[in-house]
Amino acid sequence: MKRLRFFQLDVFTDKPLTGNPLAVVLDADDLHQEQMQAIAREMNLSETTFVQKPRDRRALCRVRIFTTVQELPLAGHPVIGTWWLLAELGVVPRMEGVTHVMQETGAGVLPVEIIEREGKVQRVVMEQTPAKFFPGRINVERLASALGISKSAIGGNGLVPQFVSTGLKQLMVPVKTRAALRKVRMFPHKLLALLWPKGIVAYVFTLDIRGWADVRARSFAPSELIEDPATGSAAGALGSYLVEHGVFAPERTIHIEQGMEMGRPSRIEVVILRNQKGQLIPRVGGSAVRVLEGTITV
């Protein structure tokens, strides 16, 4: 029997009981995959992370990410929340300004920035893999039926549904109005039939927005039967998609609000850079707050 420390955080927010919940299990080197999956089921959150010693010398830690049913190579709010916690616990050397670290993930060794001001962590920024855009028409009529909205509600601003990957392949779904976004209701079996095996998430968004945000989005994972209140990986893919289609320029901060319809408002910041190869590189940032800590026996 082992007792392991774990923490629960709310991510992409600075207010407890909003944002996206995340469980982080520390010192998980001796756990095998089946145990990690069982713990993730026990936590019953969209994701649980396990912090291990890295296998790659470039990385400070290895972060493994599990949903209740599978391991993911990369995800946004788990990375942001895990490194926020590690910075607060002193695993990351603390310094004023920006600290650069490397993390080992299932998608490779990727950089993370931790921004600190006046002795407090302010923001964590993760870099995702270069955006990949997948051609091919999506059956809009079937997609509309899977989301419980009319076919005419999908599109706008010259945009069409498209699969994009920045570590995970996900379907970007533009809708014309906030009213249409509010009406979305996932029919899991219909949506899964459209996504599988190409992707695991439909990220439905609108540019019909007022206030601080540029985009409002909702995220649906039919294999998990959930709506997610904040999805950093999909936000990176969405930012890349919007830059690729000329809605926003590279290097502009794109502000995304999510989780409003769930009563868990979340704020996600995305900046898309273009590298020397012409690839779009998403940088996704946000804050987090600790809400729970304890031990788990396995």
Q: CATH number of the domain that 161 lies in?
A: 3.10.310.10
Beta strand residue intervals within the chain, DSSP E? 3-11, 20-25, 48-52, 61-66, 71-72, 97-105, 108-117, 120-127, 132-134, 162-165, 169-174, 201-206, 215-221, 226-228, 253-258, 266-274, 280-286, 288-297
**187 inside domain:** yes
Q: Which helix (H) or strand (E) holds 129?
A: none
**157 inside domain:** yes
**175 inside domain:** yes
Same domain, 258 and 170: yes
Angle between helices 140-147 and 188-195 (to 10 degrees): 140
**123 inside domain:** yes
| Cα–Cα distance measured from residue 28 to residue 165, given in angstroms and rounded to the nearest whole number | 28
Cis check: omega of the bond before 197, within 30 degrees of 0: yes
Domain count across the chain: 2
| Cα–Cα distance measured from residue 195 to residue 126, given in angstroms and rounded to the nearest whole number | 26
Same domain, 139 and 266: yes
Same domain, 174 and 260: yes
Same domain, 141 and 90: no
| Cα–Cα distance measured from residue 264 to residue 190, given in angstroms and rounded to the nearest whole number | 26
Same domain, 145 and 215: yes
Same domain, 200 and 114: no
> Residue 281 phi/psi, 5° resolution?
-115, 115
Which residue in the list 34, 42, 47, 116 is annotated as catalytic? 47
Structure tokens at 185: 């209701």
Three-state DSSP state, 67: coil
| Cα–Cα distance measured from residue 81 to residue 84, given in angstroms and rounded to the nearest whole number | 5
Using alpha carbons, select from 183, 162, 185 the residue that is nearest to residue 234.
162
> Residue 35 gets which letter from DSSP?
H
Fill in the amino acid letter for 50: F
Alpha-carbon distance values, 12 to 20, 118, 205, 256 (Å): 7, 20, 17, 10
Same domain, 186 and 245: yes
Q: Which helix (H) or strand (E) holds 178?
A: helix 178-183
**140 inside domain:** yes
Same domain, 28 and 79: yes
Same domain, 162 and 90: no
**222 inside domain:** yes
Same domain, 121 and 140: no
Three-state DSSP state, 33: helix
Residue-level pLDDT at 187: 97
- Give the residues of the chain that fall short of pLDDT 50: none
Same domain, 181 and 123: no
Residue-level pLDDT at 198: 72
Residue-level pLDDT at 281: 97
Same domain, 101 and 114: yes
**Residue 284, strand partner residues:** 126, 270
Structure tokens at 23: 């469980």
- Look up the domain containing 222 and give its range: 132-274
Structure tokens at 283: 């940088």
**281 inside domain:** no
**280 inside domain:** no
- Is residue 47 annotated as a catalytic residue, yes or no? yes
Fill in the amino acid letter for 154: I
User: For 193, what's the count of Cα atoms within 13 Å in the CB-facing half-sphere?
Assistant: 10
